[in-house]
Amino acid sequence: MRHVIALDVGGTGMKAALVGPDGELLHQDRRATGRERGPDAVVTAILDFAADLRAYGEQHLGEPASAAGLAVPGIVDEPAGVAVYAANLGWRDVPLRALLTDRLGIPVALGHDVRTGGLAEGRLGAGRGADRFFFVALGTGIAGGFGLDGRVEPGAHGFAGEIGHVVVRPRGAPCPCGQHGCLERYASAAAVSEAWARACGDPAADAADCAKAVASGDPNAVRVWGEAVAALADGLVTALTLLDPRVLIIGGGLAEAGSVLFEPLREAVERRVTFQKLPTIVPAELGDTAGCRGAGLLAQDLLTTTTAEVTP
């Protein structure tokens, strides 16, 4: 069966799949990145994982993979195929596309993890059918991807969609990026976990615990959650003012709170808009498979482009 290899590399783990022409996940697997052994070991783990997936496809699906897609965190130069920087993996200027192409002997596409997940949500998930969407992942940090006519815009230098570093609280909390008051310092899962742990006096408490306490009516949790939602709404209104998306897709760990997040968030965004058109605000649908599915789409797009280039 014709298929492509899809790899989604995270800070601690890698998710992978063999993806069929219709987007079906024919085989799935997971491994640790091994980042504690250093950046070179992470690159080796990626290459080995991909080679094992190729071998699995040859043995169980009857033919080798036609292409591969790889999604990685950090700063990514997609046209050059280079992973420029990732703080949590410790690498700089890694030519991942060339390395993986040499290892597998097939075309390889490289993408940013959040933009790649947004691509999958746009085509296969919550944004399917929308000509313009903005995908926002609320995880340890916050990042996004703007989708236009079936693709996600990387920007001129690979920085498009970094909504987590929009300043929503001037002169606010310092951010590792060098600014103060960035959105992800107030509305990421990590920020909510930190604020709730401080408020409830339990160092082990996290954002999920805060959401449960909000649902039970705990006033401290309601305050902490409300501050995060307000900051998030401020950032989202900035994004929709600039991008005018038809659909706003919210994913990541914080989105798992469901209505505890989405009901007050929709209300907060609606209160803030003036001349802007209010987009439909929906939860992401694909969960933690979005990155793999998006990497598969990158690989399939590569085949489509290659075929179009050689067809007279």
* 199, 209 contact by CB (below 8 A): no
The whole-number pLDDT of residue 24 equals 87
Q: How far apart are CA 47 and CA 22, in angstroms?
A: 25
Q: Give every CB contact of residue 187 below 8 A, 6+ residues apart in sequence.
A: 138, 142, 168, 228, 229, 231, 232, 235, 254
Q: Which residue has the higher pLDDT, 75 or 227?
A: 227
Instruction: Note the pLDDT tens digit of each residue in 233-272.
Output: 999 999 999 999 999 999 999 999 999 999 999 999 999 9
Averaged over 222-227, what is the pLDDT?
Answer: 98
Q: How far apart are CA 188 and CA 208, in angstroms?
A: 12
Give first-to-last CA distance, the chain, whole Å. Answer: 26
The whole-number pLDDT of residue 12 equals 83
Query: Any idea which of 31-35, 106-110, 154-158, 223-227 has the lowest mean pLDDT?
Result: 154-158
Q: Give every CB contact of residue 132 below 8 A, 6+ residues apart in sequence.
A: 146, 147, 148, 149, 243, 244, 245, 246, 247
Question: What are the tokens at 286?
Answer: 């694909």
Instruction: Note the pLDDT tens digit of each residue in 152-202.
Output: 998 888 888 999 999 999 999 999 889 999 999 999 999 999 999 999 999
Mean pLDDT of the chain: 93
Task: Please give the CATH topology (third level) of the domain spanning 4-113+288-310.
Answer: Nucleotidyltransferase; domain 5 (3.30.420)
Question: What are the tokens at 129?
Answer: 């059918």
Instruction: Note the pLDDT tens digit of each residue in 85-140.
Output: 888 888 999 999 999 999 999 999 999 999 999 999 999 999 999 999 999 999 98
The whole-number pLDDT of residue 310 equals 40
Comma-separated ranges of CATH 3.30.420.40 domains in the chain: 4-113+288-310, 126-284
Partners of 182 in beta bridges: 167
Q: How far apart are CA 167 and CA 300, in angstroms?
A: 37
The whole-number pLDDT of residue 304 equals 83
Averaged over 49-64, what is the pLDDT?
Answer: 95
The whole-number pLDDT of residue 311 equals 42
* 26, 1 contact by CB (below 8 A): yes
CB burial of residue 179 (10 Å; 0-12, 13-18, 19+):
middle
The pTM assigned to this predicted structure is 0.90
The whole-number pLDDT of residue 305 equals 67
Instruction: Give the pLDDT band of residue 290 (cuts 50, 70, 90).
Output: very high
Given CATH 3.30.530.20, say whether it is the number of domain 126-284.
Answer: no
* 234, 226 contact by CB (below 8 A): no
Nearest residue to 121 via CA among 151, 96, 99: 151
Averaged over 9-22, what is the pLDDT?
Answer: 91
